[in-house]
Amino acid sequence: MKKKSGLIALIGLMLILLVTACGQQPTKQTQANEGADYPNKPVKIVAPSGTGGGWDTTARLMSKVMGETKLIKVGLPVENIEGGSGKVFLEGFLKNNVGDPYTIFVNSPPILINTAQGFKYSYKDVTPIAGIISEYDSFVVPANSKYKTLKEVMDALKQNPASVKIGGGSAPGGMDHLAFMAAAKKAGIEITKINYVPFQGGGQVMTALLGNNIDLASTGISEVQGQMQAGTVRMLAVTSAQRIEGLDVPTVKEAGYDATFDIWRGFFGAKDMPAYAKKYWEDNLAKMVKTPEWQQVVKNQKWTSSYRNSEEFTKFLGEQTQVISNLMKELGLTK
Amino acid sequence: MDIWQHLLGGFGIALTPMNLFYAFIGVLIGTMVGVLPGIGPMSGVALLIPVTYNLNTASAIILMAGVYYGAMYGGSTTSILLNTPGESSSVVTALDGYEMAKRGRAGSALSIAAIGSFVAGTFSVLMLNLLGPSLAKVAIRFGPPEYFSLMLFGLTAVAGFAGKSRNKAFLSLFIGMLISMIGTDLVSGSERFTFGISNLSDGIDFIIVSIGVFALGEVFTTIVEMNKGKQTRFRIEGKIWPSREELRRSVGPIARGSVLGFFIGVLPGAGATIASFIAYDLEKRISKFRHLFGKGAIEGVAAPESANNGAAGGAMVPLLTLGVPGSGTTAILLGALMIHGITPGPLLFEKNPDVAWGLIASMYIGNLMLLVLNLPLVGLFAKIIDIPQVYLLPMIIIISTLGIYGVSGNIFGLWLLLFFGIIGYFMKRYDYPGAPMILGLVLAPLMEQSLRQALIMSNGAYTIFVVRPISLVLLLLAAAAIVVPLLLRKKNGKFDQVEKDMEL
């Protein structure tokens, strides 16, 4: 049986590819009841990165659950257009897909960070459809570390900002870096003097932490779970506003520093996408996040469900822009 | 012993008809992925993730791992036949592999590549099986200072890739290092040499450079020569299969390549490409036939092909025992495990023994399948060389562009490919070796990154590289790699002789 379903999936994939090849051009409908039959062909879901990362995973799992639960009957092929944390895709998209209801894309804080770093487009040039999940960063030390609480780390950093080596899976200005600096800033530490060692992604950070090459890692919770279960590391705090279910770890706020860092992910469409298409996606995403299939996905990925409809999502993006650009200004990372 | 019982249990899982089927499909797709330039194991595995949604976890990981190590086998094929590296870890194989093909020994090169891959693949699974956990503990001690010293040692391999002129090799190396500086700098987070072009902000993928310089460079050169009326057509000389002499000469390189590849692969982040470069250089230094390197030496195929397969197995060690990825592809495997509801980590063997041991057992079987699959194909593939070049050249251009476009979905990559093809043509015309450029391109980013990470760790003190013993040893090795050959030549008065050899 398993063999068959694998084959069927493969055939399905081929068919989807065939079908998308036939329907690349966005068609403009001008009838009075426009959108009544939307979508009447596959909708392309773009992950503006390579395969395998967070955007790609979110896009593919969304497409999978929409199909499994039969919420959306047309195919939802995922396409990877990588480059410059989404900048390459966005430049092409804004030029070629004006008002296109048949392409939506996934994004996360980089769409705000890029803008803060001087990229000419922002979330205001596209339509935020809905935010669906969040991941949070965690601050982790080796099991044999002398630091037992986040406060001990912050106190040490207050004494001497270079005394604790902080590692993260991103360049300065990236999410792991900002997550820790947001907390350190609230602790009153001179954040520009902190020794931050950047690594390429969460896997490398964990390796450096396990090898005692850094003292504390700032990295996504999902990267750390396996190590926690094995007792090789200790998680001092998480960057969410409330405690994470099933995780006996205080939030940064509880530790006494009024900071959160939300690595949200959501979907966006073209700026002038038709209202019916926006509503269609907003409604269906709202339905999808309530399905047991999606909740299982969220559980497996150690994500947190954080649905925000278009209006809430847009407002949230405005607030986050403020938070991120303030932080980056202080760190001397903005242009 | 305990592990043998577990392994037996693993074979119980891997040998079910269903999982045998998936292992076979995996290695088959892997071979194809390896053959197609541009589409490397990383994108091959990632593209399969959606297909595995409906499979059980053990089958899914068996399928995906099959693609991973299968690609290491397939990668050599186009390197040898068309001078077009199928993926980055097969760049080195092209040097002597293609020369062998030109001399009518394509079949032999392909067979040795398959045999070497099999030996190294099996060896690395055995090591993973026996030493996995204890090795992983040593591997994570490798921090930024150690990586810097390792990369510096790796750079000394450039000597092995110099053609007639050492200066040209160094120039090529430095150009490669400079190209690697394009893109977003990890340590400062700012963009360098991108001139505001978003397409450059991730840097230039070195598979584009290697396919451009090697494959298209060769195509353009041949076209120009054909226009001058020089018609070259390769023929298969003698038997397809390797001669006894070739087999005998391959034993040492395969053994050394396997061991070297495995241990470099175990280090998270070092990778198959670097392993293949170091293995080639090692053979060139110690071989009796060093004067034949670059002119179709079988050792130059055996060593790197064994090394890259050994490394693929080695990269499984940190993944399975610690739950940290040792390479880009294993990072994707890790993500796939999570989709299946498994939390990768040090407890994988305890909590999901069926997955861990099933995978290990399937790797033994998969390697055998690959050998059986690849050897008969040798006869078929070797005939490609008989195709007249008027048909072959357009084919090379088509598969190169398809591969590059297929992965990035971006036209910009194709312009870069063309650009590096033209560069490759001129490099060939003026006798600049291409391999040092790729070496620089691979090593420089890791080297720069770990240098700066180490200096942040030490608050700017360079002593960090010498007070850490592993780093110190690697630095001494690098120094020895430069100094010892010079001293030996002077002492033996053979200096002139060697120089002359090189000019042959």
Q: Which residue of B46, B55, B140 is in closest CB contact with A51?
A: B46
Task: Name every chain B residue with its beta carbon within 8 A of the beta carbon of A119.
Answer: 198
Angle in degrees, CA B2, B8, B10, rounded to 5: 105
CA distance B23 to B15: 10
Q: Does residue B452 contact residue B187 with C-beta atoms inside 8 Å?
A: yes
For Cα atoms B75, B76, B81, give the angle at the middle one, nearest 5 degrees.
120
pLDDT of residue A9: 60
Q: Which of B52, B191, B208, B343 has the most A C-beta neighbours within 10 Å, making it the best mutation to test the interface with A?
A: B343
Query: How confident is the model at residue B25, as a pLDDT?
Result: 92
pLDDT along chain B (504 residues), means of 10: 80 89 91 79 81 86 88 84 82 90 88 92 89 79 89 83 82 92 83 84 84 89 84 69 87 94 83 88 87 87 93 86 79 83 80 86 89 85 80 86 77 92 93 88 87 90 91 91 79 52 41
Report which residue type is found at A262.
Answer: D
Residue B295, min C-alpha distance to chain A (Å): 38
* Beta-carbon separation of B408 and A197 below 8 A: no
Closest chain A C-alpha to B56 CA, distance in angstroms: 8
Q: How many CB atoms lie within 10 A of CB A24?
A: 9
Residue in B closest to A231 by C-alpha: B346
Residue of B nearest to A302 (CA): B338
- How buried is residue A261: exposed, middle or buried, by Cβ count under 10 Å (0-12/13-18/19+)? buried
The dihedral region occupied by B104, where left means phi > 0, alpha psi between -120 and 50, and beta the remainder, is left
Cross-chain residue pair B50–A301, CB shorter than 8 Å: no
Q: Determine the Cα–Cα distance for residues A206 and B318; give it in Å rounded to an integer.
A: 11
Q: Which of B188, B269, B409 sits opposite A204 (nearest CB)?
A: B269
**Within 10 Å of residue B226's Cβ, how many Cβ atoms?**
14
CB contact under 8 A, A79 and B18: no
Whether the CB of B341 is below 8 Å from some CB of chain A: the reply is: yes
Answer yes or no: do A60 and B50 touch at CB < 8 A: yes
Residue B270's domain comprises 2-503
3-state helix, strand, coil in chain A (%, to 5): 45, 20, 40
Structural domain count, chain B: 1
Cβ neighbours of A13 in B, within 8 Å? 50-51
Instruction: Please say whether the dihedral angle defined by the alpha carbons of residues B303, B305, B306 and B308, taken in this order, is positive or negative.
Output: positive
Cβ atoms of residues B84 and B53 within 8 Å: no
Nearest chain B Cα distance for residue A32, angstroms: 36
Specify the fold of A42-134+262-330: D-Maltodextrin-Binding Protein; domain 2 (3.40.190)
Contact B199/A at CB under 8 A = yes
A-contacting residues in B 20-59 (Cβ below 8 Å) = 21-22, 42-43, 45-47, 49-56, 59
> Furthest-apart CA pair in chain A: how many Å?
69
Is the CB of residue B30 less than 8 Å from the CB of residue B44? Answer: yes
Tokens of A176: 């792991």
Maximum CA pair distance of chain B?
69
Domain boundaries, chain A: 42-134+262-330, 141-238
All residues of chain A having their beta carbon less than 8 Å from the beta carbon of residue B202 are 82-84
Q: What pLDDT does residue A233 have?
A: 93
Q: Do residues B106 and B80 make contact, with C-beta atoms less than 8 angstroms apart?
A: yes
Residue B187: what residue type?
A: V
Contact predicate A173/A328, CB 8 Å: yes
CA B129 to chain A, closest CA, distance in angstroms equals 20
Cross-chain Cβ contact A171/B187 below 8 Å: yes
Q: How far is residue A28's CA from residue A2's CA, in Å, rounded to a whole number?
A: 42
Q: Rounded distance, CA B315 to CA B378, Å? A: 28
Inter-chain residue contact B456 with A9, CB threshold 8 Å = no
Strands A216-220, A166-168: pairing kind? parallel
In this prediction, residue B420 carries a pLDDT of 95
What are the backbone angles phi and psi of residue B315, rounded to the nearest 5°? Answer: -65, -20
* Token output for A320: 């986050």
- Answer whether B344 sits within 8 Å of A198, measured CB to CB: no
CA distance B82 to B214: 9
Element (H, E) at B155: helix B144-155
For position A109, what pLDDT does the model report? 92
- Residue of chain B minimizing CA distance to A5: B54
Distance CA B359, CA B448 (A): 35
Tell me if B410 and A88 make a contact (CB, 8 A cut-off): yes
- Residue A52 with chain B: CB contacts under 8 Å: 42, 45-46, 49, 331-332, 335
Name chain A contacts of B450, Cβ cutoff 8 Å.
none
Cβ distance B189 to A174 less than 8 Å, yes or no, reads yes
Give the type of residue at A304: T
Q: Which DSSP letter does residue B215 get?
A: I
Cα A316 versus chain centre, distance: 14
Query: With a cut of 50, which residues of chain A have pLDDT below it?
Result: 1-3, 22-31
Residue B170, number of CB atoms within 10 A of its CB: 15
- Give me the half-sphere count of Cα atoms (radius 13 Å) on the Cβ side of residue A125: 16
Task: Give A150's DSSP letter.
Answer: H
Nearest-angstrom CA–CA distance, A139 and A252: 9
Indicate yes or no: pTM above 0.95.
Answer: no
Which helix or strand (DSSP H or E) is residue A216 part of? strand A216-220
Q: Of B172, B176, B192, B175, which is closest to residue B184 (Cα–Cα)?
A: B192
Residue of B nearest to A82 (CA): B408
CATH of the structural domain A141-238, one choice from 3.40.190.10, 3.20.20.70, 3.90.1150.10, 3.40.50.2000: 3.40.190.10
A42-134+262-330 and A141-238 agree in CATH topology = yes
Instruction: State whether ipTM is beyond 0.85.
Output: no
**B388–A contact, CB cutoff 8 A:** no
Q: Tell me how close the Cα of A31 comes to any Cα of chain B, in angstroms.
A: 34
Quote the tokens at residue B228.
């001058």
What's the gap in Å between the CA of B188 and the closest CA on chain A? 6
Rg, chain A, Cα only: 21
Q: Which of B53, B140, B412 sits opposite A211 (nearest CB)?
A: B140
CB contact under 8 A, B50 and A13: yes
Query: How many Cβ pairs closer than 8 A exist between chain A and B?
Result: 172
Question: Which tokens sit at A27?
Answer: 């068609």
- Determine the Cα–Cα distance for residues B57 and B52; give it in Å rounded to an integer: 8
Beta strand spans in B297-424 (E): none
From chain B, pick out residues whose CB is under 8 angstroms from the CB of A222. 338
**Residue among B54, B410, B457 whose CB faces A213 most closely:** B457
